[in-house]
Structure 1
Amino acid sequence: MKTVITIVGQDRVGIIAMVSNILAENNINILNINQNILNGFFNMVMLVDMEQSIISLKDLGRLLGEKGEVMCLDIKVQHEDIFRSMHRI
């Protein structure tokens, strides 16, 4: 299952490390990353493969959301199909 992770907030050291460590610990493969920083504002979209994951989509969303709050980030996790449907023109 492919999943989209979006991360938004003030840029700071360790954002990518925090997210990628959680993904690695849960056997989730990163397929693509798109990241921008504009005037100190951090925005990243990741496409990941959860096929071999040891954590559910719901639990991953909760875990990343909690860790994001600690770093003052808004982190959302969505199934790829839902993300595509929401962003269709």
Structure 2
Amino acid sequence: MSQSVITVIGKDRVGIVYDVAKLLAANQINIVNISQQLMNDFFTMVILVDTSKCSKSPTELADLFSQESEKLALQIRIQHEDIFNAMHRI
């Protein structure tokens, strides 16, 4: 299993979870765990995903999420689990 962490931040609106889940499903990315929270008017979500069935490279995924971020008025970022853990290690 190849796992990555996706973070989503944006102004709260109806359909954010749907839009992100649809994007993941279209790219054969499976949600392993998900956490979401509303902070005032801002929606935040952290998703642990399995990318092993996705045909896109990590660079292609990052580019795709960057493009979709603009369309959806969200900030969507992906990092491999090892990089995420290394950056957040105390």
| TM-score under structure 1 length normalisation | 0.91
Any idea what the Cα deviations from partners look like across 1:28-69, whole Å, max 9, x if unmatched? 110000000021111100000011112222111211221112
In structure 1, give the amino acid aligned to 2:37.
N
Could you tell me which runs of 5 or more consecutive residues in structure 2 were left unpaired when the two chains were aligned.
none
- Equivalent positions of 1:1-89 (< 5 A) are 1-89=2-90
Please, which runs of 5 or more residues in structure 1 have no aligned partner? Answer: none
Q: Residue type matched to 1:44 in 2?
A: M
SS at 1:51 equivalent: coil
Paired residue type of 2:29: I
Distance in 2 separating the partners of 1:26 and 1:71: 17
The CA deviation at 1:72 is 2.2
Please give the alpha-carbon distance, in whole angstroms, between the structure 1 residues aligned to 2:23 and 2:72: 14
Q: Secondary structure at the match of 2:13?
A: coil
Could you tell me whether the CA contact under 8 Å between 1:19 and 1:64 is conserved in 2?
no
After the TM superposition, which parts of structure 1 deviate over 2 Å for at least 4 consecutive aligned residues? Answer: none
**What's the RMSD between the two structures over aligned residues?**
1.1
Size of the aligned set, in residue pairs, is 89
Describe the SS at the equivalent of 2:56. Answer: coil
Identity fraction in percent: 48
